[in-house]
Amino acid sequence: MFMNFSIINLGCKVNRVESDSFGAFLLSNGACATSLEFANLVIVNTCTVTGDAEKKTRKAVRRAVREAKQAHIVVTGCAAAINPELYKALSPRICVIPKGLVSEYLEKQLFINQAMDNSGHHGSFIPFDSSTNERIGDSFPTRVAVKIQDGCNHACTYCIVHTARGKAWSRNWDAIIDEVVALESHGVKEIVLTGIDLGSYRFGKRRLSDLLEELLTKTSKVRFRISSIEPCSIDKKLPELLLSSRGRICRHLHLPLQSGSHKVLKEMNRPYSRDYYLELCENLHAEIPQLSLTTDIIVGFPGETESEFKETLDVATKVGFSKIHVFRYSKRYGTPAALRSDQISPEIINRRACELSALSENLRIAFAQSLLGTEELVVVEKKGWGMTESYYHIRVPENFEPGSTHLLRIHELDSLGVLIS
């Protein structure tokens, strides 16, 4: 029996890495990626970081049930971990499986498929964590993410992810290096290091900055990007590495701010103050020329006043973010913030989100204009489009092959503020 599979991924970069790993494993064992209509196995990797994410998850699972009429449907990920019974109730074909057990389930399914193979050939399958299951090729992103850490020991009062993902843990040092070396040998030009709390990476006494230093010595050309890191996880060594690596570690850091109000940060249980964050960003800009800083900000946290929201706008302007991911606060049941009586009305949340988004666009264009006349190494993601070191999409010549790299001078912005080489 031939296995046709389809994967629906929702949420963060860590989910994307996990979903791509499931797909690579199945492809390496002869399964075929297909549309839902023809799939006999569907994996839905869910997200619950916001109310909107959870709505999209439920919609995706219902779509899988509706369109993949004969398929076994595996529902995994954060939303499934928080409320497994909700998804089980949607169809008898749904199996809710914890993320750590999905690989075991897939191995069993492949064994069953081989046993039912009419050809009588029951070959062995490639184990899930084999280095031959590389996430490369047309089915996967050009810039490949490598998961080095999972879980979170923080307890931000608005967040349910630490409950869904569990305690922080770090991946084996040698396993990470082996995977990265293998990816470079297959021609990957950019590797994005990912994790739920990336800066908490520890292997013995070694930290994220030590891992990056080792990866630079074990590879020769591939460049690295840090996906997201908490402000308090920036040690002295990390900026020095960004500066000395000559572009091999992207001069781009995603530093979640969440709020520019010291009071709101404290109520969120964030482990830093407004002043700490501003001083950190000021020092980073001073140390690293052309550093691109991006961030996450939540608007409408319970009790947030207009003056506290204005403080957030003020911090964003002072830092000069090149991009802001704007999140409308939504209740995550089971969190302390959801129990508060001073919830902000949807109308006010939407107005603040629009105001912050407008500021974000102005800051994005201002930073892009500062790049005019400079040169950046660009990884071509698809025909006509690439990604700069500073995390901007850029128009590139149509004849540049996806996956190739080019040192390009940034000449102008188009009418939408998109970089043109």
Show the tokens assigned to 342: 């001073």
At 104, which helix (H) or strand (E)? Answer: helix 102-115
How confident is the model at residue 28, as a pLDDT?
A: 84
Rounded CA-CA distance 327/308 in Å is 16
| Cα-based distances in Å from 56 to 9, 50, 53 | 10, 10, 5
Pick the residue with more confidence: 289 or 355? 355
Q: pLDDT digits over 200-247, tens only?
A: 999 999 999 999 999 999 999 999 999 999 999 999 999 999 999 988
Amino acid letter, residue 303: G
DSSP code string of 375-401: EEEEEEEETTEEE-TTS-EEE--TTSP
* Share above pLDDT 70 across residues of the chain, in percent, rounded to a whole number: 92
The amino acid at residue 27 is L
Instruction: Give the model's pLDDT for residue 108.
Output: 86
Q: Which residue has the higher pLDDT, 292 or 24?
A: 292
φ/ψ of 217, rounded to 5, equals -75, -30
Amino acid residing at 410: I
Q: Which residues contact 11 (CB under 8 A, 6 or more apart)?
A: 45, 46, 47, 49, 53, 77, 78
**C-alpha to C-alpha distance for 174 and 215, rounded to whole angstroms:** 10
Sketch the domain layout of the chain as residue ranges. Answer: 4-115, 144-370, 375-420
Question: Residue 333 — pLDDT band, cuts 50, 70, 90?
Answer: very high
Tokens 């019974």 map to which residue?
Answer: 85
CATH superfamily of 144-370: tm_1862 like domain (3.80.30.20)
Average pLDDT over residues 26-42: 92
pLDDT of residue 100: 87
- The predicted pLDDT at position 30 comes to 85
Flag whether pLDDT at 269 surpasses 50.
yes
Express each pLDDT in 371-421 by its tens digit: 999 999 999 999 999 999 999 999 999 999 988 999 999 988 887 778 888
- Contact residues for 46 (Cβ-Cβ < 8 A; gap 6+): 10, 11, 57, 60, 61, 75, 76, 77, 78, 79, 80, 87
Do 313 and 139 touch, CB atoms closer than 8 A?
no
- Report the CATH fold assignment for 375-420: OB fold (Dihydrolipoamide Acetyltransferase, E2P) (2.40.50)
Burial of 2 (0-12, 13-18, 19+ CB in 10 A): exposed
Say whether 375-420 and 4-115 share the same fold: no
Give, in order, the Cα–Cα distances in Å from 266 to each of 203, 263, 300, 301, 312: 30, 5, 15, 12, 14
On the question of pLDDT at 132 being above 50, the answer is no
Structure tokens at 216: 């630079």
Q: Please give the single-letter amino acid code of residue 35.
A: S
Q: What is the pTM of this model?
A: 0.90
Say whether pLDDT at 287 is over 70. Answer: yes
How close are the terminal C-alpha atoms of the chain, in Å? 50
Give 352's contacts (C-beta < 8 A, 6+ positions apart). 299, 300, 309
Tens digit of each residue's pLDDT (9 = 90 or more) over 82-130: 999 999 999 999 999 998 899 889 888 876 665 545 444 444 445 455 3
Give Cβ neighbours of residue 198 (< 8 Å, ≥ 6 apart): 148, 149, 208, 226, 227, 228, 229, 230, 233
Cβ proximity of 179 and 133 under 8 Å: no
- Single-letter amino acid code for the residue at 58: R
Domain at 4-115, CATH class? alpha beta
Give 252's contacts (C-beta < 8 A, 6+ positions apart): 225, 226, 291, 292, 293, 294, 322, 389, 390, 391
List the one residue out of 72, 76, 74 whose CA is nearest residue 93.
72
Mean pLDDT, range 156-160, rounded to an integer? 97
Structure tokens at 257: 């701010």
Could you tell me which residues are beta bridge partners of residue 298? 327
Q: What is the mean pLDDT of the chain?
A: 91
**Per-residue confidence (pLDDT) for residue 374, from 0 to 100:** 93
Assign 143 a pLDDT band (cuts: 50, 70, 90).
Answer: confident
Mean pLDDT of 77-82: 96
Which backbone phi and psi does 65 adopt, to 5 degrees? -60, -40
> In this structure, which amino acid lies at residue 198?
L
Residue 258 C-alpha from the chain's centroid:
17
Res 131: pLDDT = 40
User: Are residues 166 and 119 in contact, defined by beta-carbon separation less than 8 angstroms?
Assistant: no
